[in-house]
Every structure is written in structure tokens, then in C-alpha cells.
């Protein structure tokens, strides 16, 4: 068996430290998330929507700015149903909680069933005018993975 020289031992130690340091960097980079806080008007809209839908403290609020065509499926629409300006930017709020929309505008046959209720609310706002464009309330979970949604942590 060969004896390790001092230079070999130092070299091996430095290599091991480099590997450990590299792993620590990779783990830290994987855990860090760049969170962009939403604009103030988006927070105000989120508060108003949560209140209007009967759950002023939803368990989760996510937001993203997307083209209307990408946001349409979150509302149960096709990209073509996003309107003539399907490329316009919208801010989408996705909330999870216990919701009931009072005074909702619904078709006459649906009105007999009572107010719409659900665990999910999705609302689009025009990114320029800040006016609401579409909304959804229901029990089907809304998939936001891969669309750039961020958790709204301050509400």
C-alpha cells in the first residue's frame, strides 16, 4: 500500500472541499426563489376579490402576468375565447379558500341553484387598465405550474 504524501493529502482535501462547496451552492440555488412582489394595485384587487367572494383570508393566493390567451384555460375558456386582443397582458389571481359569490350574474337556470360556491377563484385583470375581464369560481383545482405564478405572501 502506498503512503500518501503531504502534497497528495492537501490536494485531496482541497478537491473534497471544492466538491462540498459546489454541492452547497447547487442546493442553495435550487432552494432560493426569486419572488417579485406584486404591484400595489394587484394586492388591493386581491383583497377586494377575497372579500367579495366571502373569504377575506384565503389559504393561498397566487398571481402572474400572462397573455390573455395563456390565462384563458385557467378560467375554463379556450385561447380564442380570450377576446379579440388575445395577446394583451392580464394579471391573474388564483385563490384557494372557501368562496361564495353573492350577487353573482348567472344564467336564469343556474340562479335556481343558489350562489356559485367553490374552493377556487380565478380572476383576470387587464394589466393596463386594471379592470376585471373574466372570473371563475369552482371546485376543480387550478393548475398554475409552469406559468410563472408566484405566491402572494403579503396580503
pLDDT tens for the chain, residues 1 to 155: 555 555 554 444 444 344 444 433 333 333 445 678 999 999 999 999 999 999 999 999 999 999 988 888 888 887 767 665 667 899 999 999 999 987 655 555 555 567 788 999 999 999 999 999 888 888 888 899 999 999 998 77
What pLDDT is attached to residue 77? 82
What pLDDT is attached to residue 6? 56
What pLDDT is attached to residue 7? 54
What pLDDT is attached to residue 21? 46
The answer to whether the beta carbons of residues 95 and 60 sit under 8 Å apart is yes
Q: What is the pTM of this model?
A: 0.71
d(CA 133, CA 90): 8
What pLDDT is attached to residue 155? 72
What pLDDT is attached to residue 20? 44
CB atoms within 10 A of CB 55: 18
User: Who contacts 98 (Cβ-Cβ below 8 Å, separation ≥6)?
Assistant: 54, 55, 119
What pLDDT is attached to residue 101? 82
Backbone angles phi, psi at 101, to 5 degrees: -90, 105
Amino acid at each position: 500500500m502506498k503512503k500518501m504524501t503531504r502534497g497528495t493529502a492537501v490536494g485531496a482535501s482541497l478537491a473534497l472541499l471544492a466538491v462540498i462547496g459546489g454541492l452547497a451552492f447547487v442546493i442553495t440555488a435550487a432552494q432560493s426563489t426569486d419572488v417579485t412582489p406584486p404591484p400595489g394595485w394587484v394586492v388591493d384587487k386581491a383583497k377586494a376579490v377575497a372579500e367579495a367572494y366571502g373569504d377575506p383570508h384565503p389559504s393561498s393566493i397566487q398571481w402572474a402576468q400572462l397573455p390573455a390567451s395563456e390565462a384563458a384555460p385557467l378560467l375554463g375558456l379556450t385561447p380564442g375565447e380570450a377576446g379579440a386582443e388575445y395577446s394583451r397582458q392580464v394579471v391573474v389571481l388564483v385563490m384557494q379558500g372557501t368562496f361564495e359569490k353573492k350577487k353573482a350574474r348567472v344564467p336564469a337556470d343556474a340562479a335556481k341553484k343558489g350562489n356559485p360556491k367553490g374552493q377556487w377563484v380565478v380572476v383576470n385583470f387587464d394589466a393596463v387598465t386594471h379592470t376585471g375581464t373574466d372570473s371563475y369560481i369552482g371546485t376543480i383545482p387550478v393548475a398554475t405550474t409552469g406559468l410563472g405564478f408566484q405566491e402572494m405572501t403579503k396580503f
